[in-house]
Structure 1
């Protein structure tokens, strides 16, 4: 697919992309590149102390970057909607994407077919943060994305521009056997 090839090029060059995810339109980059992640923080005008979500294509990819407790696997198996889980002690990820306070990282196994194929072909996780400046409302469709974002990213994926999404993913944090809901 031409869009996959076109989107891989900027990712491989540590550049930023604007792309449709299984939730909202997202700004993304190589989640293993400190320089690429810095560009996303700058583009969003977001403090680097705030963490970002990372997308992976599968449970096996997830296991390369974090230890996955059985509770998390059970949650993922039962999840009806996109679910992000905050994991402890990530490895192989850009250090500026990891929450400094508790050494955690929010990761979601993506459900969108294009995203899954993109991440699988890229072979590494990608950042997924909503396509807005920090503090601004999350756009529900491509048409709501601010022009400043559209002109600041290095590449815009030309797919699903008509799609309207009003829901972000559920975010859960595991603390031992306890599951804490961060965002419903």
Structure 2
């Protein structure tokens, strides 16, 4: 089901509707500051498994998740002084930062190295959803694994159909992906160059 939400002034009743869907175990597609993402609550184990299946994605590739603010990141990740300064400078923005996970992160989202990827996109719709929900949501690009990300909500509906409970239509977006930067060690390491500038890592 497509649900149009204003990108600059998200309607509270629609945000509440999406959050209720997530609380009931639903899976949604939603806009970020790069392209569209697919997600569910990070505590929805069945939902996470469903996303793996619908994307045809290997389980050895854990999903990242979206937090509403840096304080929330500190609950789920170990944040050094160096990492905190970087997070404060570049978030919200088109970055996924990899950090050591705490025990609060569900096992399905943790890598073998006990790390996790986190995002705070510069997008009002998805941030308001996460804030009202009260916990992070999974984030992975809205596409089948190995294919191009999708920035058109109607194309997402064509690909995934009724596998998604709600497709939040926040307008047409790019097909860009976030830059992925590891902050596990003292020196930032670029794992993927995307929309976010990574020249500061060198």
Q: TM-score normalized by structure 1?
A: 0.90
Provide runs of 4+ in structure 1 moved above 4 Å. none
Contact kept? 2:75, 2:102, Cα under 8 Å: no
Contact kept? 1:43, 1:133, Cα under 8 Å: yes
- 1:97: Cα distance to partner? 1.6
SS of equivalent residue, structure 1 residue 178: coil
- 1:40: Cα distance to partner? 1.0
Residue 77 (1) aligns with residue 81 (2):
no
SS of equivalent residue, structure 2 residue 78: coil
What count of residue pairs does the alignment treat as equivalent?
A: 181
Unaligned 5+ residue runs, structure 1? none
Indicate the residue corresponding to 2:180 in structure 1: 171
Q: Aligned partners of 2:98, 2:184: CA distance in 1, in Å?
A: 10
SS of equivalent residue, structure 2 residue 54: helix
Q: Aligned partners of 1:76, 1:141: CA distance in 2, in Å?
A: 29
1:55 to 66, 91, 94: 66
- 1:33: Cα distance to partner? 2.3
Q: TM-score normalized by structure 2?
A: 0.83
- 1:91: Cα distance to partner? 2.5
Residue 182 (1) aligns with residue 191 (2):
yes
- 1:181: Cα distance to partner? 0.2
Q: Aligned ranges for residues 68-147 of structure 1 at < 5 Å? A: 68-79=79-90, 81-99=93-111, 101-145=112-156, 147=158
